[in-house]
Structure 1
Amino acid sequence: MLHNGVEPKTQRTPGWYQRFFAWMMAHGNADYEAAMRDRKQKLFAGVHGNVLEIGPGTGPNLSYYPHDTHWIGVEPNPYMHSYLKQEAERVGLDIEIRHGTAERLDAEDNSVDAVVSTLVLCSVNDLEGTLKEILRVLKPGGQFFFLEHVAAPQDTRLRKIQNWISPLWQVLGDGCHPNRETWSVLEKVGFEKLDYENFQADAVPALVSPQIIGVATKKAK
């Protein structure tokens, strides 16, 4: 399990588990965040203006945003919200939290300069639908900034393990798919430009160490 935020299936996920998951995210990812600091600083250097972050969880990304950012977070787990507010106060960022899911964003068409997702696309119910929603809310020329753990290459030992453990991992991780080929959907969903790199993350279990980081750009009109 390695997430900022998740897409809890509210019909099936009990409140006690959502509360526990929020606590775990607030206290359990420090080593990963430290390992990712340089990569995140480089990625977030291009984020500006009206920004929508999907599944912001407990707010590990808030410290990277400029203080003049108009930040909106769409976070479906209500127990994450208090952690988000505490972190925003700590870093001095004004935020707006909206309850909802990534598959149906509470935002107008062509309304934001950037969308951000870190460790979220692994757990959305509909990956293609989520990416189409991101395209919908981005302004022409807007950019999608992402950092996600993904499937290992086909036919590798790690991929076989990911495939084997995936059903259990989805239960323990509230929907997380360790073997999701996120890059393949990003490549075909309709972004005009897609730049990303693959890397092996430190300070995480091998199961979720294959990761991608990059930027997808919506076509400018």
Structure 2
Amino acid sequence: MTDTLFHAHPVRGPMNAAFFWAAGGMFDRLLRSHKRRVYADLPDTVVELGAGVGANLRYLSPGSTLIAVEPNPAMHGRLRRAARRSGVHLDLRPVSAERTHLPDASVDVVLSSLVLCSVGDPGQVLREVRRVLRPGGRFVFVEHVAAPAGTPLRRLQRWVRRPWAWCFEGCSCERDLASVVGDAGFDRVDVESYRLRSPFLPFNTQIAGVATR
């Protein structure tokens, strides 16, 4: 299966895989309370968009199945090893979140964590999520978003836009993802906004929530 929407970069891809592998514990400590809330009661089979190196495997039960949508081949080796250690069956799909090739109404939960910031078209990703979810299915997410307009943090996000995007596979710190999820046609959307305290300042404004089909 060939993904025409993602083009692997020979430097950025391996750099991101190594970075998120090394920093995974720190990011989990920052986000753990929010992830525990929205990732509660996950079923035996979960689709994850941008599964990366397996940061969210710790929230799945041993013996469950992760359908991992991850187009960056540099992530795949670490993701496979992490899944084996966690006792989670891995169904790896090297495709983009905009076009997963999964059947209509085929899954109960789609999960994303710090992914919608870097996809080419978050609206299309959410249309794809709604397509693959069964009626009553959930999209559970933890994402970083734009700071309020006119604030020093928003100005910082704008100043670092280009180098940040280059380093993190096109990641944007200036997306209003709460509105994107709210406008995606889900029957119900529950979103919490919060702010982290971390050295990664442009990343510190966050949302976590559940959107129900």
Q: Verify the 8 A CA contact 2:34 2:142 in the aligned structure 1.
A: no
Deviation at 1:68, TM superposition (A): 4.3
Deviation at 1:78, TM superposition (A): 0.9
CA distance in 2, matches of 1:90, 1:38: 23
**Does 2:166 correspond to 1:162?**
no
Of 49-58 and 122-131, deviating more is: 49-58
Of 207, 210, 220, the residue aligned with 2:205 is: 210
CA distance in 1, matches of 2:109, 2:192: 19
Which residue does 2:82 correspond to in 1? 87
Deviation at 1:205, TM superposition (A): 1.3
Deviation at 1:24, TM superposition (A): 1.3
Deviation at 1:204, TM superposition (A): 4.4
**Does 2:78 correspond to 1:120?**
no
Q: Verify the 8 A CA contact 1:199 1:211 in the aligned structure 2.
A: yes
For structure 2, the residue ranges without an aligned partner over 5 or more in a row are none
Which residue does 1:198 correspond to in 2? 193
Q: Percent identity?
A: 37
Q: Verify the 8 A CA contact 2:47 2:110 in the aligned structure 1.
A: yes
For structure 1, the residue ranges without an aligned partner over 5 or more in a row are 1-7
Of 37, 44, 47, the residue aligned with 1:52 is: 47
Q: Verify the 8 A CA contact 1:151 1:180 in the aligned structure 2.
A: yes
Deviation at 1:161, TM superposition (A): 1.8
CA distance in 2, matches of 1:91, 1:168: 34
How many residues get paired? 210
Q: Verify the 8 A CA contact 1:122 1:149 in the aligned structure 2.
A: yes
Of 58-67 and 198-207, deviating more is: 198-207
Q: Within 5 Å, give how 1:125-136 maps onto structure 2.
A: 125-136=120-131
Please give the root-mean-square deviation of Cα atoms over the aligned residues, in Å.
1.7
Of 96, 104, 111, the residue aligned with 1:101 is: 96
Deviation at 1:49, TM superposition (A): 3.6
Deviation at 1:154, TM superposition (A): 1.2
TM-score (norm 1): 0.89
